[in-house]
Amino acid sequence: MIFEIDSKNLEEIEADYSIVFIKKGSKEHRWISHKDELELLKFEAEADEVANLFEKRRIYIATRSFDHEDIRLASAKAIKILKKLNIKTLKIGSYTGDAINFRAICEGMILGDYEFDRYKNKKNSKTIEKVIISLEEYDVGEIDKDSALASLKEGEIIANSINFTRDIVNTPPDDATPIKIAEIAQNLATSNNLECKIGDEKFLEEQKMGAFLAVSRASVHPPRFIHLTYKGENPKIKVALVGKGLTYDSGGLSLKPSEYMATMKADKGGACTVLGIIKAISELGLPIELHAIVGAAENMIGGNAYKPDDVLVAKNGKTIEVKNTDAEGRLVLADCLCYAQELNPDYIIDIATLTGACVVALGEYTFGIMGHSKELKNSMFEASNCSGELSNELHFNRYLEKLLKSEIADMSNISNTRYGGALSAGLFLSNFIEEKNRDRWLHLDIAGPAFVEKEWGYNPYGASGVGIRSVVEWLRVTI
């Protein structure tokens, strides 16, 4: 799907079909040129109402507002309906004098158009080829073409990066192995001019990543450590992103019941989001030094599996008593966080499908933000709001630390209570953050929204690519 901007009025542009958004209740707007037909259909312009006038080649969609998120949702809805028709080109007008809405239209359409059909013999081949956005305004206003074009380009980069991430997360575990994830990272590095370092088990041993190694040990698919670097021109900040890349989480010897095991191919969601972010930032060309660090492994069972009662030694020398092998993500992340800090970044952000408890706490659409710095947590919350993603802050407290106490090691890998598991997992990670980095670190638990088994908004069944828009926005406002 390609996007074009045209200075002609909407009516003058040639296209197979036109889309008109109507602000809720505005039945008399000048853009409603088919009053009789809409009356026949009893179109009341109530929020989310759709009137598709096939004969007039026009679809009307009523929106709650023209906020970016409502425009994004309406654009996705339009594309989902229109892609089923035998048409190739679409036209749409501009909304509320704000160039960011060009980005929202583009994001909504690319995200709404996404389907994961690689494994289907019968593919849905129809797709819209071109979308022309007229500079004609719904309200009286004027938009500068250059800023509209720039906004559109950003939308394309971000939405395509999200679909890149969705594709990897959706790929089944026997095809998206740690080696395959490393290959994808290597290809991304080649196409986007990034530095790329891939480490195998030998590298993990040299790095003394005893926790990461233990998790990966029972799989026939060997682990991979991945480190991509993007150096923008005159970088203003250095940021390290760390992603949990469990290509499958069976739970290990603390085996998951089968209904919880299904969908655990998505336990690589954090890693794929980190790759999507470095793809987007390198294409946006932002002045940042960005490191994308991924721990890719498979948590399986076998005679050589790590087990409850084992004591592991992490890269920083801290010892961990394993009480549950299903709390594996934090073990992989612990070693990767130690590595990330050796780069002396200004900020460290880990992204992980870490706990079912976070899904219980915040629901399946919202990710959790944890960390020690109020300002940092808040800036991520604001950035995610602004980007259209849903997040909420979960605050640590002084009573949590004792929940991770072990009688024989520096800490246990699970809490000794069944409550508040998202926070205790976050606090476990905090044990691997050096004192000087306390206020530079954020942990994002995306276990809820990374993979949802039903469509929501512009997200299809399956992987959403959550986290990319929030972190890209956060980086943009932080530089």
- With a CB cutoff of 8 Å and minimum separation 6, the contacts of 144 are 99
The one of ligand BES, Zn ion, none whose footprint includes residue 473, by CB under 5 to 8 A per kind, is none
Question: Which two three-digit tokens encode residue 221?
Answer: 């698919």
Q: Which is nearer to ligand BES, 18 or 470 (CB)?
A: 470
Active site residue 330: yes
Minimum gap (Å) between residue 105 Cβ and ligand BES: 32
Pairing mode of beta strands 411-412, 319-321: parallel
Distances (CA, A) of 285 to 82, 192, 231, 278, 348: 33, 10, 9, 10, 20
End-to-end CA distance of the chain: 31
Q: Which of 256, 307, 318, 476 is catalytic?
A: 256
| Closest residue to ligand BES: CB criterion | 356
Binding mask 283-322 for Zn ion (x = CB under 5 A): ----------------------------------------
Binding mask 235-254 for Zn ion (x = CB under 5 A): -----------x--x-----
Interface with Zn ion, residue 329, by CB under 5 A: yes
Q: Which is nearer to ligand BES, 207 or 424 (CB)?
A: 424
Q: Which is nearer to ligand BES, 329 or 345 (CB)?
A: 329
**Structure letter (DSSP) for residue 354:** -
Strands (DSSP E) found in 172-234: 195-199, 224-231
Phi, psi angle pair for 451, to nearest 5°? -150, 115
Q: Within a 10 A sphere around the Cβ of 128, how many other Cβ atoms?
A: 20
Minimum gap (Å) between residue 174 Cβ and ligand BES: 18
Interface with Zn ion, residue 267, by CB under 5 A: yes
Q: Which of 77, 217, 268, 330 is catalytic?
A: 330
The number of residues that bind Zn ion (CB under 5 A) is 6
Minimum gap (Å) between residue 267 Cβ and Zn ion: 4
Minimum gap (Å) between residue 251 Cβ and Zn ion: 6
Q: Which is nearer to ligand BES, 357 or 423 (CB)?
A: 357
Q: Which is nearer to ligand BES, 63 or 247 (CB)?
A: 247
Q: Which is nearer to ligand BES, 103 or 330 (CB)?
A: 330
Minimum gap (Å) between residue 118 Cβ and ligand BES: 22
Residues that bind ligand BES (CB under 6 A): 249, 267, 324, 326-329, 353-357, 359, 414, 421, 447
Minimum gap (Å) between residue 414 Cβ and ligand BES: 4
Q: Which is nearer to Zn ion, 90 or 446 (CB)?
A: 446
Active site residue 8: no
- With a CB cutoff of 8 Å and minimum separation 6, the contacts of 31 are 10, 20, 22, 93, 138
Residues 26, 34: contact at Cβ < 8 Å?
no
- With a CB cutoff of 8 Å and minimum separation 6, the contacts of 363 are 448
The one of ligand BES, Zn ion, none whose footprint includes residue 369, by CB under 5 to 8 A per kind, is none
Q: Which is nearer to Zn ion, 255 or 409 (CB)?
A: 255
- With a CB cutoff of 8 Å and minimum separation 6, the contacts of 387 are 469, 470, 472, 473
Binding mask 403-432 for Zn ion (x = CB under 5 A): ------------------------------
CA atoms of 23 and 52, how far apart (whole Å): 16
Q: Which stretch binds Zn ion (CB under 5 A): 261-269, 289-297, 371-379, 452-460?
A: 261-269
Residues 368, 362: contact at Cβ < 8 Å?
yes
Minimum gap (Å) between residue 398 Cβ and ligand BES: 21
β-partners of residue 23 are: 63
CA atoms of 50 and 71, how far apart (whole Å): 14
Q: Which of 356, 353, 337, 334 shows the shortest CA–CA distance to 345?
A: 337
67-72 CB contacts, 8 Å cutoff, 24+ apart: 68/98, 68/100, 68/101, 68/103, 68/104, 68/388, 69/104, 69/388, 71/21, 71/95, 71/101, 71/104, 71/105, 71/108, 72/104, 72/105, 72/107, 72/108, 72/111, 72/388, 72/457, 72/458
Q: Report the residue from 70, 326, 335, 350 that binds Zn ion according to the rule CB under 5 A.
A: 326
Question: Which two three-digit tokens encode residue 371?
Answer: 């960390």
Interface with Zn ion, residue 70, by CB under 5 A: no
The one of ligand BES, Zn ion, none whose footprint includes residue 351, by CB under 5 to 8 A per kind, is none
Interface with Zn ion, residue 335, by CB under 5 A: no
Minimum gap (Å) between residue 354 Cβ and ligand BES: 6
Pairing mode of beta strands 58-63, 50-53: antiparallel
- Would you name the residues annotated as active-site residues? 256, 330
Binding site for Zn ion (CB under 5 A): 246, 249, 267, 326, 328-329
